[in-house]
Amino acid sequence: MVKVPFACGECHLVLEDGVEMCSRCPTARVSMEHQGYVIIMNPNRSEIAKRLKIDRPGKYALKVSIR
């Protein structure tokens, strides 16, 4: 069985295994319901990062569903 990691509902950062709180947005809700992901290595040179308003390198979910 594949374990689905949490993603932050605010910044969309995909969290490491076993982590249930976003270090960047500690008050944001997290969810296991997310779709797609993108890895941003250099946000200053990435058009995708600019469109998604990402300013730090990392692995991000494209869509996060919070209930």
Contact 64, 9 (CB under 8 A): yes
Domain assignment present for residue 2? The answer is no
Contact 61, 37 (CB under 8 A): yes
Dump the DSSP string for 14-29: BPPTT--S-SS-TTS-
Residue numbers of the domain that contains 49:
7-64
Cα–Cα distance measured from residue 45 to residue 67, given in angstroms and rounded to the nearest whole number: 34
Q: Number of folded domains in the chain?
A: 1
CATH number at residue 21: 2.20.28.90
Cα–Cα distance measured from residue 63 to residue 67, given in angstroms and rounded to the nearest whole number: 13
**Whole-structure pTM over 0.85, yes or no?**
yes
Q: Output the pLDDT for position 67.
A: 80
Tens-digit pLDDT string for the chain (67 aa): 678 899 999 999 999 988 999 999 999 999 999 999 999 999 999 999 999 899 999 999 999 999 8
Domain assignment present for residue 1? The answer is no
Q: Output the pLDDT for position 35.
A: 95
Q: Output the pLDDT for position 4.
A: 84
Domain assignment present for residue 45? The answer is yes
Three-state DSSP at 49 gives helix
